[in-house]
Amino acid sequence: MALPSQSEEQIQDREFLRDVLEGLGRRQKALPCKYLYDETGSRLFERICELDDYYLTRAEADIFSKYLTDMARRIGPAALIVEPGAGNCKKVQQLLRQLDSPTGYYPIDISPEILMAAQGRMAAQLPGLTIRAAVGDFSDPEAWTGLMDFPACKKVVFFPGSTIGNFSPQHAEDLLAFFKSMLQPGDGLLIGTDLVKDAVVLERAYADSEHVTAAFNKNILVRINNELNADFDLALFAHRAFYHPLRQRVEMHLVSLKTHSVHIAGTRVYFEEGETIHTENSHKYSVAGFNCLLGKTGFTPVCHWSDIQRRYAVHYAQV
C-alpha cells in the first residue's frame, strides 16, 4: 500500500515537535536555539544588531571597515566565499567588493524568506558575481552539496557575527572540524568571536533596555503556540540573561513566573515557579583560547584583527 506523501512542512513540524518535547522533558528544560531564528526571530535579531547595548555588531563592523584590504590580501584572488548562517548577507558585501575577482558566493541559511530576499538584492548590487544560495541547516553536509556547481578554486568559509558562540566548546570544535572536512589544503576560514569581558557589559548586551532581546527570546514560545498548537501564556514567562564566568558564556533563559502547565500538541508540560527554559548560549573567547580551538580542529591560525577596546576579534585561519 502506498503511503500518503508528506509535505516538507509536515516533516519539519514533526521534527520541531520532537525537539520541543525532548527539550522540555529534561530536568533543565531547554530548546534548541536554532528555533529562535524563524522569519520573525531573524527580523528581531536584525533589530538587536542595531541596539546600542548590543556592541558586537558594531565592533565587528569597525574591524571589517578598518582592516578590509588586509583581509582581502590574506584571502587572495579568485576565492569562493561560503557563508554558513548568512541571514541577510549584509556583512559579506563589502568583503566581496574588496576581493580580487571572487569566483562566487554561496550563502547557507535555514530561513528561506530572508535568504531569497538577500539573493535578489545581492545580484543587483554585485553584478557579475555568481551567487548560489542554499536553504538548510549549515551543520548538515546536504546544505554544502551545491558547492560542486562551482569550478575548483580556493574556498573561504566566512563565519562572522560570533555565531560560533552559539555552540558549546565541544560542538564548536565539531563544527569547525566539519567546516575543515568541506575544505582543501590552502582554503581559509574568516571567523568572528566575541571576546571575554566585564560581565556587566555582556549582560547589558543580552538584556537590552529596549527589551528587543526579550521579544526575540519569547518568540520561540510564540512559534510553538502557532506551529505546534500549544497554549503558552507569554505573560507567565520572563526573559533572563546572565554571564557564567566559568563556562565563559552568556546564557539566555525564559523563567516561569508561577507554577503552571502548558499543552503542546496534546502533551502536558509542567513548570514550577522560577523554573527556566534554557534557550541560547553565547560563548566568549580569549584570542589564545580561540587559537587553541582552531588548532585542535586542524586549522592553522594565521592572524586576527581586533577593535581598540578589544571587545571583539576576527580571525583568519588556514587548512
Beta carbon nearer to ligand AVJ, 56 or 95: 56
Which residue in the block uniquely carries the three cell numbers 566581496? 96
Q: What is the rounded CA–CA span in Å between residue 61 and residue 34?
A: 24
CB of 175 to ligand AVJ, least distance (A): 13
Q: What is the rounded CA–CA span in Å between residue 316 and residue 71?
A: 8
Beta carbon nearer to ligand AVJ, 6 or 168: 168
* C-alpha cell, 113: 524568506
Residue 238 contacts residue 255 (beta carbons within 8 Å): yes
- Decide: residue 269, CB within 10 A, 0-12 exposed, 13-18 middle, 19+ buried: middle
Produce one character per residue of 107-119: b if its CB has 16 or more CB atoms within 10 Å, e if not: bbbbbeebbeebb
Beta carbon nearer to ligand AVJ, 165 or 301: 165
Applying CB under 6 A, the residues found at the interface with ligand AVJ are: 48, 56, 161-163, 165-166, 206, 213, 216, 252, 280, 282
CB of 131 to ligand AVJ, least distance (A): 22
* C-alpha cell, 175: 563544527
Beta carbon nearer to ligand AVJ, 154 or 249: 249
* C-alpha cell, 64: 571589517
Residue closest to ligand AVJ (Cβ): 282
CB of 192 to ligand AVJ, least distance (A): 9
Task: Give SS3 for 131.
Answer: strand
CB of 288 to ligand AVJ, least distance (A): 21
Beta carbon nearer to ligand AVJ, 72 or 214: 214
- The neighbouring-strand residues paired with 156 are 81, 188
CB of 195 to ligand AVJ, least distance (A): 12
Beta carbon nearer to ligand AVJ, 77 or 245: 245
CB of 300 to ligand AVJ, least distance (A): 25
Q: What is the rounded CA–CA span in Å between residue 84 and residue 86?
A: 5
Beta carbon nearer to ligand AVJ, 20 or 56: 56
Neighbours of 32 (CB within 10 A): 14
CB of 2 to ligand AVJ, least distance (A): 43
Q: What is the rounded CA–CA span in Å between residue 66 and residue 75?
A: 16
Which residue in the block uniquely carries the three cell numbers 582543501? 184
